[in-house]
Amino acid sequence: MASPRKYYTVIAVGIVILISLILFSLNLKSPESMNFCRKVVLEAAVPLESAVDSVFDSITGTWERYFMLVGLEKKSREMEAKIAALTKEINDYRESSLQCERLRKLMDLRNGLTFPTVAASVVGKNRSSIFKTVLIDKGTADGIKEGFPVMSTEGIAGRIIEASPNASKVLLLVDYNSNIDALIQRNRCHGMLRGAGSFGCELRYVQRSEDVRVGDVVVSSGLAGVFPPGLPIGTVAVVEKGNAGLFQKIIVHPSADIAKLEEVLVIIKEKKDNG
Backbone angles phi, psi at 27, to 5 degrees: -65, -30
Which of the two residues, 84 and 195, has the higher pLDDT score? 195
Residues 131-176: pLDDT tens digits? 789 999 999 999 999 999 999 888 899 999 999 999 999 999 999 9
pLDDT at 275 over 70: no
pLDDT in tens, 209-224: 899 999 999 999 988 7
- d(Cα 62, Cα 206) in Å, to the nearest integer? 86
Q: Which amino acid is at 265?
A: L
Of 9-13, 62-66, 70-74, 141-145, least confident by mean pLDDT is 9-13
Question: If you average pLDDT over residues 186-198, what whole number do you get?
Answer: 92
**Taking a C-beta distance cutoff of 8 angstroms, is the pair 37, 23 a contact?**
yes
3-state secondary structure of 232: strand
Report residue 36's pLDDT band, with 50, 70 and 90 as the boundaries: low
pLDDT (tens digit, 9 = 90+) per residue, 78-106? 787 878 777 777 776 676 666 666 666 66
Residue 113: closest CA among 9, 269, 273, 275: 269
Confidence of residue 274 (pLDDT cuts 50, 70, 90): very low
Q: How far, in whole angstroms, is CA 194 from its chain's centroid?
A: 33
Confidence of residue 38 (pLDDT cuts 50, 70, 90): low
Residue 172 has a CB neighbour count (10 Å cut-off) of: 24
Q: Among 186, 266, 260, 267, which Cα is nearest to 219's?
A: 186
Average pLDDT, the chain: 79
108 has pLDDT over 70:
no
Rounded-to-integer distance, Cα 275 and Cα 256, Å: 22
- Amino acid 69: pLDDT: 78
* pLDDT tens string 42-68: 555 556 556 656 666 666 767 777 777
pLDDT at 6: 53
pTM value is 0.62
Confidence of residue 17 (pLDDT cuts 50, 70, 90): low
**Residue 1, pLDDT score:** 52
Q: Where are the beta strands (DSSP E) in the chain?
A: 117-126, 133-136, 149-151, 156-164, 167-172, 179-184, 190-195, 201-204, 217-220, 232-240, 249-254, 263-267
Average pLDDT on 243-267 reads 89
